A and B are shown apart, each in its own frame.
Chain A
Amino acid sequence: MSSIARKLAGPSSSRGTRILGALALVSTVLLLLLGLIWSPREVDQADAVRLMYVHVPSAVVGLYFAFGVTLVGSIVYLRKQSDFWDLMAHAGAEIGVLFCAFVLVTGALWGRPTWGVYWEWDPRITSTTVTLVLYLGYLAVRRMDLDPVVRSRRAAILGIISFANLLIVKQSVEWWRGLHQGSTVGIDTQMDGLMFFTLAWGVLTFTLIFAWLLMHRFRLAWYEHQAAAVSLDDAIAARRGEHRSSLAGEAI
């Protein structure tokens, strides 16, 4: 592997992630071509419909895959105390927050030409905003200055409740907007075959990107976990060394 490739792949690259990364890149290029050039305009929304191919995949992958990983990681961690799942839960939440932000930005940009305003009280956009803050809270708990095991355990409890909250927020906002003839970003008319394919391709691409990011974010968490253990070992060793030399001093 050339040094540039090594640098791009990072210090933790493995054959598996390199292949995954390459697939994600190729898939992204195809998505850009499909989304921006090859797929047709929509009758009512014209080119604004192209935002769907990044908006919907961000929502599917961010809200369900990423926060789903946090949910599963939290449950398994509480049952088995496995560090792997604890770090996975953390990694999932961080990437989920990123994708949530994409959902909001593309949703607002899509809203301007379709509704005439950047922010319509659309149920999905509204609940995504609340969900974003919910998981920012989860990440804040993960930064708490506490004993790592205590922090992980609290974060795991929070990771489970937060997913339940995600569903509650979504449902309650839908009921609420349902009373006021809610409108949702989307296409009411029959979707063209190529448009549907592009959307599916978008979901696939974002899933690949998510998987690649998740593995690397997990490795970062793993390194930090190891580094904490290493620095603890070093501190103990240094303390032992001091102790020994002071004993030696007394002996003389």
Chain B
Amino acid sequence: MHWQYVIPGYVIVFAGLGVYTASLMSRLRSAARKIPEEKRAFLE
């Protein structure tokens, strides 16, 4: 019972996380291109 509320809730949260992660990755890639290789590495 009430699955019609549960499923959209889970979908919105996890799809939201997925979309945010994907956009974060693409922002990271485009930002990384703007700086030289030697300045990228840290926290390794």
| A110 B9 Cβ-Cβ under 8 A | yes
Give B residues with C-beta under 8 Å from A. Answer: 1-3, 5-6, 8-10, 12-14, 16-17, 20-21, 24-25, 27-29, 31-32, 34-36, 39-40, 42-44
Q: Which of A145-153, A156-164, A211-219 contacts B (4 or more CB under 8 A)?
A: A211-219
14 cross-chain CB contacts under 8 A: A12-B28, A45-B2, A48-B2, A48-B6, A109-B9, A209-B17, A219-B43, A220-B24, A222-B42, A223-B32, A223-B35, A223-B40, A224-B31, A227-B35
8 A Cβ contacts from A201-247 to B: 209, 213, 215-217, 219-220, 222-224, 226-227, 230-231
Q: Is A16 an interface residue (CB 8 A)?
A: yes
Majority DSSP secondary structure for residues of B touching A:
helix
**Cα–Cα, bound, A48→B12 (Å):** 15
Known: A10-B28, A226-B39. A102 touches B5 (CB 8 A): no
Give A residues with C-beta under 8 Å from B. Answer: 8, 10-12, 14-17, 28, 32, 35-36, 41, 45-48, 50-51, 54-55, 58, 98, 101-102, 105-106, 109-110, 112-113, 209, 213, 215-217, 219-220, 222-224, 226-227, 230-231
**Cα–Cα, bound, A226→B28 (Å):** 12
Which of A28, A110, A213, A230 has a CB less than 8 Å from the CB of B14? A28
| B24 A54 Cβ-Cβ under 8 A | no
